[in-house]
Amino acid sequence: MSFDVAAIRKEFPILQREIDGHPLVYLDNAATTQKPQCVIDALVEYYTTNNSNVHRGAHRLADEATRNFEAARDIVKDFINAPAREEVIWTTGTTEGINLIANGLGQLLSTGDEVITTGMEHHANIVTWQQACKRAGATLKIVPVTDQGDLDLEIYAELLNERTRFVAFPHVSNALGTVNPIKEMTTMAKAVDAWVLVDGAQGAAHAKVDVQDIGCDFYAFSGHKIYAPMGIGVLWGRAELLENWPVWRTGGEMISTVTLHDATWNVLPHRFEAGTPNVADAIAMGEAIRWLQSLDHEAVVAHEKALLDHATNLAQAFEGLTIIGQAKHKIGVLSFVMDQGHPADIGFLLDRQGIAIRTGDHCAQPLMARFGVPGTARASFSIYNTLEEVDALFAALKKVRSMLA
């Protein structure tokens, strides 16, 4: 199967926009990806043909909506190679999935237990464990980040011990682009019988995810970073754990029986899906995954690697620019600082030239402190970006440098 970036770009209506008279160059994909027309159409079709609540209706619209909603769950199951569809829990995104597990973990930990996370976490995958440990009187330990932007696996091995109950780490760093050895890290954690959660927010869009091969207990990711709408995501967890994990929210759908004084909980996946679900966006997420899987994965990986390699070469030759995070194994994230100008100024001046990047601490303040910077400018690449857009970024950065000099 061939990879035609020009044809792919035509599937994304927003890429036809201009910003202040300049063609839009969208390089903020680590924050959110744009949506292909088929995903937009899936949303419109739901709201125009079978808008209804799911599972409980006795009419045709409810039946159609339920079938489509549950079909999307099956698509996710196959996408991550989950053993069972009941293990796929709909959430609002990665953050809610992590909080669901952290809420329960805070009730399961005891004084003297230890939790391990890393120094490259998004705030969603560190603040949650901080709070869980505080509630339980447990200890949080941190795997440091090397100068190149890798996790220090030697120290990770030293931190693991018989008191380690839980380990959480990112599949891919949102701020550096580092791809972590998640299977190896999971195996190491399992040697001390710890539970493992992988933050897959940045991983699901760029790498094939096989939760059975990884060996983890939980994997969380968001729809909007894999071409689906915002407000929808997935938490996968092993059934034997989720069946007994403390419930997250209570209300309709997640109950089995209710009296005036007590209640019992529903089976998976409904146990963790209280209230009216985000039906339209779940269906659209299924469509986004179907679209993504229709592409030649190896060709997509090669294309995104070519974008990053080209950008890295231009960055290394760019006077006054320093790349933050140079791990050997990365996906398409280029974080950098410049001698002239705060990252916010760089982002503002690039926007005036039609180029959208992200600036700031990227919800990773401990990592910024590790590298001694207040934040970075971050260009992040996706399927629909081109080498010409990378060239446009660095041509614009030359103008930025001259304006800020």
Domains contained in the chain, CATH given:
5-28+296-404 (3.90.1150.10), 41-293 (3.40.640.10)
> Considering 38, 133, 216, 363, which one is annotated as catalytic?
363
Q: Give the span between the Cα atoms of 141 and 106, in whole angstroms.
A: 16
Neighbouring residues of 41: CB distance < 8 A, sequence distance ≥ 6: 287
Structure tokens at 141: 């330990």
Structure tokens at 395: 């041509």
405 residues of the chain, pLDDT tens digit each: 468 999 999 999 999 999 999 999 999 999 999 999 999 999 999 999 999 999 988 999 999 999 999 999 999 999 999 999 999 999 999 999 999 999 999 999 999 999 999 999 999 999 999 999 999 999 999 999 999 999 999 999 999 999 999 999 999 999 999 999 999 999 999 999 999 999 999 999 999 999 999 999 999 999 999 999 999 999 999 999 999 999 999 999 999 999 999 999 999 999 999 999 999 999 999 999 999 999 999 999 999 999 999 999 999 999 999 999 999 999 999 999 999 899 999 999 999 999 999 999 999 999 999 999 999 999 999 999 999 999 999 999 999 999 998
Reported pTM: 0.97
Q: How far is CA 330 from CA 153, 313, 315, in A?
A: 17, 14, 15
Structure tokens at 315: 């960055």
Q: Give the span between the Cα atoms of 167 and 117, in whole angstroms.
A: 6
Neighbouring residues of 327: CB distance < 8 A, sequence distance ≥ 6: 148, 149, 150, 176, 177, 178, 179
Q: State residue 3's pLDDT score.
A: 81
Q: At what angle do helices 60-80 and 37-49 cross, to 10 degrees?
A: 150
Q: State residue 2's pLDDT score.
A: 65
Nearest alpha-carbon partner for 279 in 86, 60, 65? 65
Neighbouring residues of 387: CB distance < 8 A, sequence distance ≥ 6: 306, 307, 310
Q: Give the span between the Cα atoms of 252 and 265, in whole angstroms.
A: 10
- Contact at 8 Å (CB) between 148 and 302? no
Q: Give the span between the Cα atoms of 202 and 155, in whole angstroms.
A: 24
Q: How far is CA 345 from CA 320, 335, 360, 372, 397, in A?
A: 15, 15, 10, 18, 11
Helix (H, G, I), strand (E, B) or coil at 15: helix
Q: Give the span between the Cα atoms of 279 and 72, in whole angstroms.
A: 10
Helices within 278-386 (DSSP H only): 279-293, 297-316, 343-351, 365-370
Helix (H, G, I), strand (E, B) or coil at 108: helix
The gap from C-alpha 356 to its chain's centroid, in whole angstroms, comes to 19
Q: Say whether 363 is catalytic.
A: yes
